[in-house]
Amino acid sequence: MKKWIWIIIIIIALVVIFGFWLTNKKQNNTKEEIKIGFIGPLTGSGASWGIEQKNTLEIIKSEINNSGGVNGRLINIIYEDGKCDGKDSATAAQKLINIDKTKILMTSCSSASLSISPIAESNNVLLFAIWTTNPGFTNAGNYSFRISYSDVDTAKTMAKIIGEKYKKLGVLTEMNDYSVGVSNAFKQNYNGEIFEENFSPDSKDFKTQLTKILSNKPEAILLNPNQPGAGLEALKELRELGFKSQIYGNYFGSDGDVLKSAFAQEMVFFADPDITNTPLKQSLFDKYIAIYGEKPDFEYAVAATYDGAYILKQALTKVEYDSEKLKNYLYTIKDFNGMLGTYGFDQNGDITGSLPSAKQIVNGEIIPYKQN
């Protein structure tokens, strides 16, 4: 009995000592560095974009540090794996804030950002969410900003464009936070009749749902999946079931396989905001290919990460490494010129001026969509 009590006490003591040691050590030796914490999905299914974001940050870090840093101070980015999981992300945030004493956190998934924001808020740490589209993040707190449109923006664009033409719409939605967020906001903004069916994230066949939707004779159909593969399958089945009219889709239309598919031609989709082919984008992508050997798949995530880091750099140049001053400065930014266009932040820390756009697939190419 006594033995194991001692074991527990020793373990606790070791952890406490270890914690203090780290706290003190880190405080002393790195006063000059500006520390930024990044919490993203580095393993698991989200890793496909998390790693691209990390790679982008590495490129930016060397760009900034090679040109002398920010006001002479080098930046140091500390990566933690949040796995898009609330608990793991919160642990990582506690570690970055309390041990590394970072005053800036960057996050990726909505679930991570939402569970970190109360921690950031109570520690007065700046939270910079890169790709967080959950509408709930708008009210997350004073220190929370996002370099991303909200699902509400996507839905508003959809509702406007589809609503002008069709008043009876079938909607197929995946049960996942992105798609449901879009669907909820769409229903609030769309002026017409909606027949909606859902499918769970692991479904591979949608004939039941589509048949049910088609039995209501909708004038057009909106496909709202979260994975391009599901969207492509739904497109195929929809045409096989004999649906001839207009099909709309969410972002999945920009996927390479979807573009090539015969079933997807003439589809109108609502994409991430335009990332125009500027020299800035070209040079970043060239660098990325040179270092990592391939083109990034998630252009939006990479571009938003790039912009986010440079907004931070601009803020750090203007005011010092102090989250309170940084926060106040960020609210005053109204016309940052970055890869996503020219934009700023509103009073909720959401971005203004970078909105999703409508595109059409014609002959395997994406062209801007014009309503006729």
Partner 1 sequence: MLSAYIIHLLILIGIYLILALSLQLAMGYSGLLNLGHIAFYAIGAYISAILAINGFPFFGCIIFAGIGAMIFGFLLSIPTNKLKGDYLALATLGFTFVVYAVTLNWTSLTRGPLGIPGIPKPTLLGIDFSSNLSFLILTAIIALITFLVIWQITRSPFGKALQATRDDELAAQVLGKNTFKLKSYSLAISAFFAGVAGSLYASYITFIDPSSFTLLQIIPILSIVIIGGLASLRGTIIATFIIILLPEPLRFIGFPSSIVGPARQIIYALILIAILIYKPKGFFGKVKLE
Pairing of strands 341-345, 336-338: antiparallel
Choose the binding region for partner 1 from 67-75, 110-118, 253-261, 269-277 (rule: CB under 8 A): 110-118
Task: Return d(Cα 58, Cα 40) in angstroms, integer.
Answer: 14
What phi and psi values does residue 33 have, to the nearest 5 degrees?
-80, 150
Choose the binding region for partner 1 from 96-104, 264-272, 319-327, 338-346 (rule: CB under 8 A): 96-104
> Please, what is the minimum distance in Å from the beta carbon of residue 81 to partner 1?
4
Choose the binding region for partner 1 from 112-120, 162-170, 249-257, 302-310 (rule: CB under 8 A): 112-120
Does position 62 interact with partner 1 (CB under 8 A)? The reply is: no
CA torsion angle 76 312 307 328 (round to 10): 160
> Please, what is the minimum distance in Å from the beta carbon of residue 143 to partner 1?
15
Does position 362 interact with partner 1 (CB under 8 A)? The reply is: no
User: Which secondary-structure segment (H or E) carries 109?
Assistant: none
Q: Which is nearer to partner 1, 11 or 241 (CB)?
A: 11
Does position 200 interact with partner 1 (CB under 8 A)? The reply is: yes
> Please, what is the minimum distance in Å from the beta carbon of residue 313 to partner 1?
19
Identify residues 24-53 at the interface with partner 1 (CB under 8 A): 42-43, 47, 50-51
> Please, what is the minimum distance in Å from the beta carbon of residue 305 to partner 1?
14
Is residue 84 left, alpha or beta, with left meaning phi > 0 and alpha meaning psi from -120 to 50?
left
Task: Return d(Cα 268, Cα 345) in angstroms, integer.
Answer: 29
Please provide the DSSP assignment of 165-230 as one string.
H-SEEEEEEESSHHHHHHHHHHHHH--SEEEEEEE-TT----HHHHHHHHTT--SEEEEE-SSHHH
Residue 316 β-bridge partners: none
Amino acid at 161: I
Residues that bind partner 1 (CB under 8 A): 1, 4, 7-8, 11-12, 15-16, 18-20, 22-23, 42-43, 47, 50-51, 54, 58, 77, 79-81, 84-87, 90-91, 94-95, 97-99, 111, 114-115, 118, 123, 134-136, 139-140, 175-177, 179-181, 184, 198, 200
